[in-house]
Amino acid sequence: MTAPAVKKRFPSREHLIEAGFMTENEQKIFDDLDTKTPHPKYWMPLVWAGTIVTRARKEGRIRDDFAVKTIIDEINRFRGLCGSLLSYDWISIPLVYTQVVTLSVYTFFLGTIMGRQFLDPAQGIPKQDIDFYVPVFTFLQFFFYMGWLKVAESLVNPFGEDDDDFEVNWLVDRNLQVSYLIVDEMHSEHPELIQDKYWDEIFPTELPYTIAAEQFRIEPPLGSTANIEVPEVEQEFLPLVEEEEEPEDEGLPRTDDVQDLENGDTKGVDIKVPGSGRSSACGSAHPQSASRKPSVLSMIVQRMRIGSTDNLRQRSVRPHGMYNGFMAPS
């Protein structure tokens, strides 16, 4: 479907039967499918392979389901690669690209032949003398542009008949012979299990070199930071800096708690610690309170206690009947 050389070698399904790639029963199924759909049928042999794998699992020829999955995955991968080849053959480089590039290259050199000719110095035109006879740069442009054009033309179809294309016929012969050798000749044959040369060693420390290969001996590659040395003074870790959290509005004591603090009563005062989602009562004993650093909230509470003590002192020296600057009711 994609290689002209293979199409010329096997032009019909009868040629495939004669070469041993297809049986008559398979040809009959393909012929019946031709009457139902004109689409490519490269996937049909892979469907048969999946059915055979399922049958082999039911008959116990495949040990577990993991092996079935592995085989089915490889079949699906092979089918996907065949579809990719068909897509490359179907949607190739647009023809207008090749036409434009070919037309541009040939037009350029046609204009170069006419535009880079030398004038006749016998006409006596001033400043029109021949300075060189071989157009070196024109030759280079011709070699480069025409070479790129020919390379692009050979890349349009890598399965064609050019010298630089894939040898698909050789690949067909090779794959068929190797597959039969793996399945029929070497399926159950393996060499005798004996001790190898490195049996007494965990692994070979070094493989030998010949005189011709000695110059290619190299040391194992290291990372880009292998030669970076850090002084011992700079190898110590820096101490961690603890950041103190600022109190939020919701973490401040309530009005009732402030009045209790002013009166000197710290029992039952519920103070919410910001960021912790928990509340703590002032004056309650905590085993870890002595080892912790004073927080901003504790400093505020301590400041309130000092302020309440000062207020009590001021009240004690005020005249009788005065309370916060007003006369107390009789």
Same domain, yes or no: 101 and 86: no
Q: For residue 241, is pLDDT > 90?
A: no
pLDDT at 321: 47
Q: Which of 70, 90, 110 is the last residue in one of the domains?
A: 90
Indicate whether 240 belongs to any domain: no
Q: For residue 242, is pLDDT > 80?
A: no
Same domain, yes or no: 99 and 75: no
Same domain, yes or no: 21 and 85: yes
**What length does the chain have?**
330
Which residue, among 165, 169, 166, has the nearest Cα to 9 in the 3D structure?
169
Which residue, among 77, 94, 81, 85, has the nearest Cα to 1 in the 3D structure?
85
* N-term to C-term CA, the chain: 116
State the average pLDDT over residues 24-40. Answer: 92
Overall number of domains in the chain: 3
Same domain, yes or no: 137 and 115: yes
Same domain, yes or no: 58 and 85: yes
pLDDT at 60: 93
State the average pLDDT over residues 38-54. Answer: 93
The C-alpha angle with vertex 167 and arms to 164 and 171, in degrees rounded to 5, equals 150
pLDDT at 240: 86
Indicate whether 103 belongs to any domain: yes
Indicate whether 147 belongs to any domain: yes
Same domain, yes or no: 11 and 78: yes
Can you give the residue range of the structural domain that contains 22? 4-90
Indicate whether 61 belongs to any domain: yes
Same domain, yes or no: 74 and 10: yes
Same domain, yes or no: 284 and 320: yes
- Lowest-confidence range among 13-17, 156-160, 284-288? 284-288
Note the pLDDT tens digit of each residue in 171-223.
999 999 999 888 888 777 788 888 888 888 888 888 899 999 999 998 888 89
pLDDT at 132: 60
Q: Which of 139, 155, 171 is the last residue in one of the domains?
A: 155
Indicate whether 144 belongs to any domain: yes
- Lowest-confidence range among 73-77, 247-251, 288-292, 313-317? 288-292
Contact (CB, 8 A) for 73 and 50? no
Which of 8-12, 115-119, 180-184, 220-224 ranks highest by mean pLDDT? 8-12
Contact (CB, 8 A) for 253 and 304? yes
| CB burial of residue 269 (10 Å; 0-12, 13-18, 19+) | buried
Indicate whether 57 belongs to any domain: yes
C-alpha to C-alpha distance for 263 and 256, rounded to whole angstroms:
11
Same domain, yes or no: 9 and 86: yes
Note the pLDDT tens digit of each residue in 136-176.
888 888 899 988 888 888 777 888 888 878 899 999 999 99
pLDDT at 314: 54
Q: What is the pTM of this model?
A: 0.53
Indicate whether 107 belongs to any domain: yes
Indicate whether 40 belongs to any domain: yes
* DSSP-derived secondary structure for 254-315: PHHHHHHHHTT--TT-EEEPTTT--EEETT---TTTTTSPPPHHHHHHHHHHHHHHHHHHHH
Element (H, E) at 178: helix 168-180
pLDDT at 244: 63
Same domain, yes or no: 9 and 82: yes
Q: Tell me, what amino acid is at 204? A: P
Beta bridge partners of 323: 326
Note the pLDDT tens digit of each residue in 79-102.
999 999 898 888 877 778 888 888
Q: What is the DSSP letter of 219?
A: P
Element (H, E) at 95: helix 95-115
Same domain, yes or no: 268 and 323: yes
Same domain, yes or no: 111 and 86: no
Taking the CA of residue 100 as centre, how many other CA atoms within 13 Å lie in the half-sphere pointing to its CB?
Answer: 5
- Lowest-confidence range among 43-47, 61-65, 316-320? 316-320
C-alpha to C-alpha distance for 208 and 199, rounded to whole angstroms:
17
